[in-house]
Amino acid sequence: MAIIGIDLGTTNSLVSVYRNGNVEIIKNILEENYIPSAVAIDEDERILVGKPARERIYRYPEDCAIEFKRQMGSIDRITIGNKHYLPEELSAFVLKKCKEEAEIYLNEEVTEAVISVPAYFDNQQREATKRAAKIAGLVCNRIINEPSAAALAHRMKMGIEEEQYIIVIDFGGGTLDVSLVDCFENIVEIAAVSGNNKLGGKNFDEQIAKEFIRENQLEEESLSPEEYSLIIRKAEETKIALGGNEQVTMRCKLKDKLYTMVITQEKLLSITGNLLAALKEVMVRVIRDAGCTIDEITDILPAGGCCRLQIVQNYLKELFKREIAVSDDIQELVVKGLGYYIGIMEQKEGMKGILVTDVCPFSLGVNTAGVSINDVMSIIIPRNSTLPKQASKEYVPVSEGQKEIVFSIYQGENYYAEENKKLGEMRIELSPKTEESQKVLTTFSYDINGILCVEVKNSQGIKKKKQFLGTGNVSSNKNIFEEKYLPRELEEYTAIHERLQNLFAEANEWNRESILKWLMSIEYAKEYEGYVENIKILRNVKRCIREYEEYINGEDIFS
């Protein structure tokens, strides 16, 4: 049975498989190689996943959820319509969709997956990801850091033999991950990782939207959620349309009034300079951590949609003082890497013996009540240790007659334990004898899946062991798949139908007439049984939409 690789992205999710000596990216029913990470509920209370859900968000923001990856591991529920879901349940919908598309593509059942997560994800977030897989009916054997996967894809694609020291800059929709990857002989080893899980393309969209609101003297507070959501969408479209062009015009119609803003590369740079500074900050941290110089880095590997931005590329070029090669598949690097990884796991021909290692992205340690007087964090596994890692330290009580030691387990880089993230507690009783016999050996084992296991052992050999899953393990208690679903064969119609309604809402009277015609033919096709006829209608309407959008986006009312 095939194992699939899933890049469960903040914005888009991709699926790959290793077949016939190659990585294949799985195309879905919409003939696209990505599934938007979006979930929505329609007027018939049916669950929509992927593109239909993504299209619906502009008119019904309250019925849709996106970017839930940012809340992964949290126990706060996200509301769509009148239903409430954990972030991991929403992710499960997306994973289930990935699984189903893979099953159709491969024509066999799929039960196993390797899933990637940002390197900066902590224990709770990794555990939540595994739980999401389980809810979706997948066993997730291994969680891989996204940058490790990207570096592996780069190396395999280029057929590189010699030693490389690669900086992977994965700048996605909602997260930034920067890693240094050391490749030598048959080893792909992460030397250091750092990231910011609140920095991504979305922030660029928000800054553009903010500027748009400011320039047009709109009041943010008086905008409805639908209007704000429309401005955000227009901002994203403008950002993408800018590409390598000198300038584009952002247009947005609100309450029947057209608002515009011209955006140039220079203006984009001036309103998003703080985001670039934040990007630099993460890169500096990772290079410092690895203890290397810029010259020692052999390859700069941009990954993730944001690296398509000209200003980001220019910025990298300036910082690294060299040309930056941006490949067409930067948004697919991670999923391709997962595919190669599966090839390695399955020991496929030509893939044997490559070893992919990973590091722990943060320090792990304890603060002990009754061991140290102050609140300092005692680090047991330092940040960026190669995984799997096991380390032990001995602790003795501070006061005489003390009956037990309570270990608080923390993760983080702050000097004071309290300022770090507490994962849990462990207690162990002490033998009341001599000081020598009161030693407690604390062992941390951190595995390749980012799961921490702590063992404490007192001098009488009494042991206690615990796995740290964090607070996120309030697992879902309902069967989310009992919901009514949009049938797969209606997905394309629905996505187009939603898109047309979005276009209709923004169009002028003249254009509305044509859109109305397309809407009607799609509604007709949805009802009509004749398969061949349906395909023709779909194809035709899709072409009309494409031409219409080209016309609308190319129309510059100032020129």
Residue 239 touches which of Mg ion, ligand ADP, none (Cβ within 5-8 Å per kind): ligand ADP
Q: Whose structure tokens read 């959620």?
A: 225
Question: Is position 502 an interface residue for ligand ADP (rule: CB under 6 A)?
Answer: no
Residue number with CB closer to Mg ion (172 or 195): 172
Nearest distance from C-beta of residue 35 to Mg ion, angstroms: 13
Question: Is position 265 an interface residue for ligand ADP (rule: CB under 6 A)?
Answer: no
Could you say which of 5, 61, 87, 304 contacts ligand ADP (CB under 6 A)?
304
Measured distance CA(239)–CA(208) in Å, rounded? 8
Among the residue ranges 262-270, 300-308, 337-345, 503-511, the one whose residues contact ligand ADP (CB under 6 A) = 300-308
Residue number with CB closer to ligand ADP (3 or 14): 14
Residue 492 touches which of Mg ion, ligand ADP, none (Cβ within 5-8 Å per kind): none
Triad 469, 475, 479: Cα angle to 5°: 155
Measured distance CA(262)–CA(533) in Å, rounded? 43
Triad 46, 47, 52: Cα angle to 5°: 105
Residue 225 region, left (φ>0) first, then alpha (ψ -120 to 50), else beta?
Answer: alpha
Could you say which of 52, 87, 305, 343 contacts ligand ADP (CB under 6 A)?
305
Are 411 and 122 in contact by the 8 Å Cβ rule? The answer is yes
Q: Which residues bind Mg ion (CB under 5 A)?
A: 9, 172
Q: Restricting to residues 152-211, name those near ligand ADP by CB under 6 A.
A: 172-175, 200-202
Which run of H or of E encompasses 183? strand 176-184
Nearest distance from C-beta of residue 162 to ligand ADP, angstroms: 28
Question: Is position 269 an interface residue for ligand ADP (rule: CB under 6 A)?
Answer: no
Asked if the bond preceding 388 is cis, omega within 30° of 0, the reply is: yes
Are 361 and 175 in contact by the 8 Å Cβ rule? The answer is no
Nearest distance from C-beta of residue 83 to Mg ion, angstroms: 27
Residue 12 touches which of Mg ion, ligand ADP, none (Cβ within 5-8 Å per kind): ligand ADP
Q: Restricting to residues 232-261, name those near ligand ADP by CB under 6 A.
A: 236, 239-240, 243
Phi, psi of 225 (to 5 degrees): -55, -35
Measured distance CA(525)–CA(489) in Å, rounded? 12
Question: Is position 337 an interface residue for ligand ADP (rule: CB under 6 A)?
Answer: no
Measured distance CA(184)–CA(466) in Å, rounded? 36
The count of residues interacting with ligand ADP (CB under 6 A) is 21
Nearest distance from C-beta of residue 121 to ligand ADP, angstroms: 13
Q: Restricting to residues 362-421, name those near ligand ADP by CB under 6 A.
A: none
For 4, half-sphere exposure in the C-beta direction (CA atoms, 13 angstrom radius) is 30
Question: Is position 450 an interface residue for ligand ADP (rule: CB under 6 A)?
Answer: no
Are 492 and 538 in contact by the 8 Å Cβ rule? The answer is yes
Residues that bind ligand ADP (CB under 6 A): 9-12, 172-175, 200-202, 236, 239-240, 243, 304-306, 308-309, 331
